[in-house]
Amino acid sequence: MLRRRLAAALLALAALAGVQLVTGGPAFAATRTLYYDSSTAQEFVSVVDQAASLWNTKVTNVRLVKAAAGQTPNIRVYADNGWPRTYTTSLGNGRWYMGREAVNDGYYKLRIATHEFGHILGLPDNRTGLCGDLMSGSSAPVSCTNANPSTAEAAQVQRNFAAGFAPAAAPAADGAEVVYIG
């Protein structure tokens, strides 16, 4: 009797975590929903929303959804006069800044926003200088207007969220946040 209860409790916990333990059919990853708050992104709210929508067309294991009023978001987006940057606390969680410095320098707003969401989704800067690589960031020419992740970048996000839930990223030294500038 105790074993049955324990087994039932473990199966229920696994189901809540999105883990598929036993199946008669093909396994698939559940979609993880991440809520973002763009209300403090000031004049960039619509660009942030476009970037979230763009990611939603490129990956299926994770969805970026605008948080409703009063809902606690996984991601907060701000605007300021500095350079764009992201502070991640774990995969799928953190905050990022739409920095006006890059916008004033002529960088494409939608590319900036999509790039910063990429950090939250677990992608690092790669600085290839190629416009086709979203995560090349500011190493690509200012004239670059590609806001789409490459096939490899989208595939990496798919792998990052393959289990259907966001595992904690490796903690930074002393429990600090991981910071991406640009």
More confident position, 48 or 137: 48
Question: Hey, how many other C-beta atoms are within 10 angstroms of the C-beta on 124?
Answer: 11
**Dihedral sign, Cα of residue 114, residue 119, residue 62, residue 162:** positive
Q: In the structure, what pLDDT confidence band is assigned to residue 177 with cuts at 50, 70 and 90?
A: low
Whether 153 is catalytic? no
The residue from 43, 116, 153, 177 that is catalytic is: 116
Could you tell me what percent of the chain has a pLDDT over 70?
74
Q: What is the pTM of this model?
A: 0.78
Q: Are 136 and 182 in contact (CB under 8 A)?
A: no
pLDDT digits (tens, 9 = 90+) for 113-140: 999 999 999 999 999 999 999 999 899 9
Residues whose CB is less than 8 angstroms from the CB of residue 174 and which lie 6 or more positions away in sequence, other chains included: none
CA dihedral 65, 162, 98, 172 (to 10 degrees): 130
- Positions of E strands within the chain: 32-40, 62-66, 75-80, 85-90, 93-99, 178-181
Q: Are 102 and 138 in contact (CB under 8 A)?
A: yes
Task: Note the pLDDT of residue 16.
Answer: 45
Side-chain half-sphere CA neighbours of 85 within 13 A: 11
